[in-house]
């Protein structure tokens, strides 16, 4: 392929002929299951990640895409590889796509609430990326609308639907780590987070994460996911927070800190630390919860280890459990499928076959739950209440960083 062909092939028109549309229609005619017709609003890097998972689902059909930035929209259309209605205005999309049942909102955080409310009011089920908003009042407004709506509203705190975390929660609730004393979460990455902008008029649109009026900074954008886990595992809400941060690494005109650390006070003397930096990738991202009988550590949403104190009770199955070393400590691998394997072995399955194990990735699992809730009329694991507490926790931390003073959380911030 010549360079010219390379460039030309990357510029896609919106009416790509589908190799697969006919097959999909045939499947429909054969009654192999009614597909949920879905649209994606926001087709940047994250939106396309979600789109990639949607395309693997047999029971979902992406019928419309929307982005106000044309190159992102074109990339998504190309990735989809089939005929799709493409919009630059989400209101037009909601109005015209009468048969579209659900929308995925993967736009900049500052637009989540407005778009989600419009979508709910247009009668669509909504999967909105986290965090809910950068502002407490907006979060509460979203909560009111979502709770009054009959439609499914799920927020993409995908750790809530991740089998690893759900598995660990059972142990924590059962007292496996004893009384919680501390928790920690990190987001460490060597990356400017900057999007390339060839025309200055798109700078604030594409680099919204870097500016104060559109971004809550690292603690809101990334911390809200991890702080949500802390709230969930501790079954508590923060009482107060102090923190600071600065633009210490990327002095490129951005307005939000690229290097922050925060300390939270939780009930019963639990101390929580959160750090985020764009200057170093060491330890990348993890959550850690420490208790009087042990600790649990979760790395990048995929690996969970349980470290036990010497005086913690022992269980018979522990000798069979897989263990991994972290530093000088040996931890039990938290495997949500362990019991399933054991049951299958008894039924005669080969140990490595795993025919019934569904270890899809966190995005797939989270989106799957959304569609399952639509089909079965159920409430999602991470609905607006959970998202509200996560966002408010993170927004409080942002306020502490911005003001340089201790912020005491008000109960009403978490209430609808």
Partner 1 sequence: MKAGKLSRDGERCVVMGIVTASRIAMACKFEVVALGDDEAYLRAVLERALEEVEQLELQLSPFIADSHLSDINRHAYHRPVKVEPQLFWLLKRAVKIGIETDGAFDITVGALTLTRKRWGSHSDTSTKLYGTETEQDALVGLNWLQLDDDAMTVRFLKEGIAIDLCGIAKGYAVDVVASRLLEAGVDCFFVHGGKSSMRAFGKLPNENAWRIGVTNPAKPSERLAVVELCDGVAVGVSEWCINSVSGKMAHIVDPRAPNRIGNAEDAESSEVLRAYAICGSATDADALSTAFLLLGVDGVKSHCELYESRGAILLIRDGSGVEVLSFGLEGLAEIHRLKNRTSDTVGGDTSS
Q: How far apart are CA 376 and CA 367, in angstroms?
A: 14
How far, rounded to the nearest angstrom, does the alpha carbon of residue 375 sit from its chain's CA centroid?
A: 22
CB of 359 to partner 1, least distance (A): 5
Site for partner 1 in 43-62 (CB under 8 A): 45, 49, 52, 55-58
CB of 211 to partner 1, least distance (A): 15
Pick 78 or 385: Cβ nearer partner 1: 78
Q: Per CB under 8 A, does 8 bind partner 1?
A: no
Partners of residue 329 on adjacent β-strands: 326
* Cα–Cα distances in angstroms (integers) from residue 67 to residues 73, 226, 320, 348, 367, in the given order: 5, 28, 50, 50, 20
CB of 47 to partner 1, least distance (A): 13
3-state SS record for 322-389: CEEEECCEEEEECCCCHHHHHHHHHCCCCCCCCCCCCCCCHHHHHHHHHHHHHHHCCCCCCCHHHHHH
Contact string 300-329 vs partner 1 (x = CB under 8 A): --xx--------------------x-----
Pick 135 or 211: Cβ nearer partner 1: 211
Q: Per CB under 8 A, does 268 bind partner 1?
A: no
160, 228 contact by CB (below 8 A):
yes
- Number of residues counted as binding partner 1 (CB under 8 A): 46
Pick 45 or 330: Cβ nearer partner 1: 45
Q: Per CB under 8 A, does 279 bind partner 1?
A: no
Q: Per CB under 8 A, does 197 bind partner 1?
A: yes
Sign for the CA dihedral angle at 156, 162, 167, 171 comes to negative
CB neighbours of 255 closer than 8 A, spacing ≥ 6? 210, 211, 212, 247
Pick 116 or 285: Cβ nearer partner 1: 285
Site for partner 1 in 55-114 (CB under 8 A): 55-58, 71, 79-82
138, 117 contact by CB (below 8 A):
no
CB of 58 to partner 1, least distance (A): 6
CB of 116 to partner 1, least distance (A): 25
Q: Per CB under 8 A, does 247 bind partner 1?
A: no
129, 92 contact by CB (below 8 A):
no
How does DSSP classify residue 267? G
Selected from 22, 99, 213, 328, the binder of partner 1 by CB under 8 A is 22
- Candidate ranges 153-161, 167-175, 258-266, 355-363; the one touching partner 1 (CB under 8 A): 355-363
Q: Please give the backbone phi and psi of residue 200, each rounded to the nearest 5 degrees, phi first.
A: -55, -25
Q: Which positions lie near partner 1, rule CB under 8 A?
A: 1-3, 6-7, 10, 19-20, 22-23, 27, 45, 49, 52, 55-58, 71, 79-82, 191-192, 194-198, 252, 302-303, 324, 350-355, 357, 359-362, 364
């Amino acid at each position: 392929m010549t360079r010219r062909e390379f460039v030309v092939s990357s510029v896609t028109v919106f009416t790509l002929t589908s190799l697969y549309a006919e097959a999909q229609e045939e499947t429909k005619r054969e009654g192999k299951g009614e597909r949920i017709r879905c649209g994606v609003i926001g087709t940047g890097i994250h939106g396309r990640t979600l789109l990639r998972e949607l395309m693997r689902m047999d029971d979902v059909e992406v019928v419309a895409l929307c982005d106000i930035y044309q190159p992102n929209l074109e990339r998504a259309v190309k990735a989809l590889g089939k005929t799709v209605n493409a919009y630059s205005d989400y209101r037009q999309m909601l109005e015209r796509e009468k048969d579209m049942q659900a929308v995925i909102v993967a736009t900049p955080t500052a637009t989540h609430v407005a778009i989600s409310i419009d979508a709910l009011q247009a009668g669509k089920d909504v999967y909105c990326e986290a965090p809910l908003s950068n502002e407490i009042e907006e979060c509460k407004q979203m909560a009111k609308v979502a709770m009054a709506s009959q439609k499914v509203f799920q927020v993409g705190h995908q750790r809530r639907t991740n089998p690893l975390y759900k598995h660990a929660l059972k142990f924590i609730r059962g007292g496996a780590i004893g009384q919680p004393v501390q928790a920690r979460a990190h987001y460490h990455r060597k990356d400017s987070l900057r999007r390339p902008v060839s025309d200055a008029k798109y700078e604030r649109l594409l680099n919204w994460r870097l500016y104060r009026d559109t971004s809550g900074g690292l603690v809101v954008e990334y911390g809200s996911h991890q702080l949500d886990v802390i709230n969930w595992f501790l079954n508590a809400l923060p009482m107060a927070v102090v923190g600071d941060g600065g633009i210490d690494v990327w002095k490129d005109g951005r307005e939000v800190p690229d290097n922050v650390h925060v300390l939270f006070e939780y009930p019963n003397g639990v101390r929580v630390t959160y750090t985020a930096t764009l200057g170093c990738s060491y330890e990348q991202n993890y959550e850690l919860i420490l208790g009087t009988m042990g600790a649990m550590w979760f790395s990048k949403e995929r690996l969970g280890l349980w470290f036990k104190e010497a005086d913690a009770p022992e269980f018979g199955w522990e000798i069979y459990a897989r263990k991994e070393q972290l530093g000088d400590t040996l931890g039990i691998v938290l495997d949500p499928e362990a019991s399933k394997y054991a049951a299958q072995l008894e039924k005669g399955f080969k140990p490595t076959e795993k025919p019934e194990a569904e270890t899809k990735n966190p995005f797939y699992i989270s989106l799957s739950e959304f569609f399952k809730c639509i089909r079965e009329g159920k409430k999602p694991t991470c609905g607006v209440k959970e998202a509200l507490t996560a966002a408010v926790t993170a927004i409080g931390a942002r306020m502490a960083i911005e003001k340089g003073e201790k912020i005491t959380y008000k109960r009403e911030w978490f209430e609808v």
